[in-house]
């Protein structure tokens, strides 16, 4: 059984696997091949991988076409699917609801494609949950980037020259990323407020020492997996009305609001941006899924009437070493969970709740019910 980790392409800084995690795969009895320079952007040489017993490939196409399992962070190019070995397992983020052609290509090539964003949010799968491991680091990076860009300090300072007031941070959306954003902003000494449409998070916000903003938007629902359901246009209006004043008082607004399988809700309007003081900062963490903030653009710093709107699309990549470490561990935990040591193969049983949730294609067919519905 051979597993191949191709080098990520383009602007990606993260590496799918660190040497210490590669060693864990090898200890399981799996042959590990990494593409040469997989860790070069985080200063990890090929030698470090060789030292733990991995093989280094300089022929990407050949390694893709011979591996039994291929693991990467980002979705593959279409042309790289066709060259995979029939019945190989491909694991990565896939964005399957928006990548129907790619999903069909996986089925055509008879590849078992696993989408990391569809690992169910259940206790047993927490160790494989890459959405959470990356969102947590993204929440941290968002605050660090906001603090770096803001023209004020986060903590209160009492100096001989006078008192500097603490910055006010408003976090919109309190899932995994939002909770880490709150915790990080608190550690830096800011005054933090937060809002989410799921009232259940109020206690979590308070336990981090932040204030939960009360806005009456009527009945809200969440799915069995704890995801927020989409608000009606009227509810969004009520939410915007309720937030206008708080945005105006905030030095930093961090938006993390997402609705599973849908475009992100547009929450912060230009009018709300204009109500903020010059020098303030907004980080739109939903920029790649539609954007929570009017005017935000992926990988741009847009300045609108003195307010900087940050739309970084790869916030976990700002702490790429840690992001690589936890992502690789998520992959290892998944493969170890289904590893049959005696027969040296994966138990690919689609009646298993976790696999049923995240396997998109298998045996030449699209097998995931949520993805099939979208098609
Ligand atoms: P997410 O990225 O889907 O969304 C981020 C947050 O945005 C959510 O808290 C959501 O309620 C909120 N939101 C949606 N619309 C909004 C709006 N209009 N205004 C303000 N906020 C809005 O969320 P996530 O971080 O992936 O977490 C989703 C859920 O899954 C949470 O309940 C989380 O606790 C749960 N979870 C469970 C596990 C597990 O293994 N049990 C693991 C991770 C997350």
Structure confidence by residue, pLDDT tens digits, 259-277:
988 899 999 999 999 999 9
pLDDT band of 179, cuts 50, 70, 90: very high
Q: What is the CATH number of the domain that holds 149?
A: 3.40.50.720
Q: How many angstroms is it from 135 CA to the middle of ligand 1? A: 10
Number of domain units in the chain:
2
pLDDT tens digits for range 282-306: 999 999 999 999 999 999 999 999 9
Same domain flag for 75 and 149: no
pLDDT at 216: 87
- Residues lining ligand 1, Cβ inside 6 A: 121-123, 126, 129, 131-132, 135, 172-178, 195-198, 226-228, 231, 239, 256-260, 265, 267
Same domain flag for 145 and 25: no
Tokens 């519905």 map to which residue?
Answer: 373
Strand order in 307-310's β-sheet?
Answer: 211-212, 191-195, 168-172, 252-255, 281-284, 307-310, 301-304
CA proximity to 196, closest of 127, 265, 137:
265
Q: How many angstroms is it from 259 CA to the middle of ligand 1? A: 8
DSSP of 254-282: EE----TTSPPP--B-HHHHHTSPTT-EE
Tell which atom from ligand 1 comes closest to the C-alpha of 267.
Answer: 18
- Rounded alpha-carbon distances, angstroms, from residue 192 to 54, 171, 172, 212, 360: 46, 8, 11, 9, 40
pLDDT tens digits for range 5-40: 999 999 999 999 999 999 999 999 999 999 999 999
DSSP 8-state code for residue 48: H
Find the domain containing 187 and state its range. Answer: 135-318
Same domain flag for 288 and 169: yes
Percent of the chain residues topping a pLDDT of 70: 100
Distance from C-alpha of 300 to C-alpha of 288, rounded to nearest angstrom: 12
Same domain flag for 56 and 146: no
Same domain flag for 192 and 314: yes
Mean pLDDT, to the nearest integer, of 238-260? 95
Mean pLDDT, to the nearest integer, of 66-80? 97
Same domain flag for 74 and 193: no
Active site residues per annotation: 121, 126, 129, 132, 227
Distance from C-alpha of 304 to C-alpha of 259, rounded to nearest angstrom: 26
pLDDT at 374: 85
Distance from C-alpha of 292 to C-alpha of 287, rounded to nearest angstrom: 7
pLDDT band of 154, cuts 50, 70, 90: very high
Same domain flag for 114 and 257: no
Tell which atom from ligand 1 comes closest to the C-alpha of 222.
Answer: 11
pLDDT at 80: 97
Nearest CA to ligand 1 atom 37: 121
The sign of the CA dihedral 127, 132, 133, 134 is positive
pLDDT tens digits for range 94-130: 999 999 999 999 999 999 999 999 999 999 999 999 9
CA proximity to 324, closest of 312, 313, 332:
332
Q: How many angstroms is it from 183 CA to the middle of ligand 1? A: 16
pTM over 0.85: yes
């Amino acid at each position: 059984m051979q597993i191949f980790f191709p080098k990520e392409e383009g602007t990606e800084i993260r590496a799918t696997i660190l040497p210490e995690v590669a060693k864990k795969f090898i200890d399981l009895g799996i042959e590990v091949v990494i593409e040469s320079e997989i860790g070069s952007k985080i200063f990890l040489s090929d030698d470090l991988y060789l030292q733990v017993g991995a093989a280094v490939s300089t022929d990407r196409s050949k390694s893709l076409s011979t591996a039994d399992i291929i693991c990467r962070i980002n979705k593959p190019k279409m042309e790289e699917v066709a060259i995979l070995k029939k019945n190989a397992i491909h694991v990565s983020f896939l964005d399957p609801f928006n990548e129907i052609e790619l999903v069909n290509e996986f089925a055509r090539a008879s590849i078992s494609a696993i989408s990391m964003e569809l690992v169910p949010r259940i206790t047993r799968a927490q160790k494989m949950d890459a959405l959470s491991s990356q969102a947590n680091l993204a929440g941290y990076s968002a605050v660090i980037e906001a603090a770096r860009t803001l023209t004020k300090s986060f903590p209160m300072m009492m100096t001989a020259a006078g008192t500097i007031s603490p910055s006010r941070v408003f976090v919109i959306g309190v899932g995994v990323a939002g909770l880490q954003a709150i915790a990080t902003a608190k550690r830096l000494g800011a005054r933090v407020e937060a809002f989410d449409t799921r009232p259940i998070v109020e206690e979590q916000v308070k336990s981090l020492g932040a204030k939960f903003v009360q806005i009456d938007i009527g009945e809200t629902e969440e799915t069995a997996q704890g995801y927020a359901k989409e608000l009606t246009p009227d509810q969004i209006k009520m939410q915007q009305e309720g937030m206008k004043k708080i945005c105006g008082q905030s030095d930093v607004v961090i938006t993390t609001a997402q609705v599973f399988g849908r475009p992100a809700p547009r929450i912060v309007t230009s009018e709300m941006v204009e109500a903020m003081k010059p020098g303030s900062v907004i980080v739109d963490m939903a920029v790649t899924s539609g954007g929570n903030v009017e005017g935000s653009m992926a990988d741009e710093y847009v300045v609108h009437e003195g307010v900087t709107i940050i739309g970084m699309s790869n916030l976990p990549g700002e702490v790429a070493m840690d992001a690589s470490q936890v992502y690789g561990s998520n992959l290892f935990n998944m493969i170890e969970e289904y590893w049959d040591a005696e027969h040296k193969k994966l138990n690919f049983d689609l009646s298993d709740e976790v696999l049923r949730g995240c396997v998109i294609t298998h045996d030449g067919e699209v097998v995931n019910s949520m993805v099939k519905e979208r098609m």
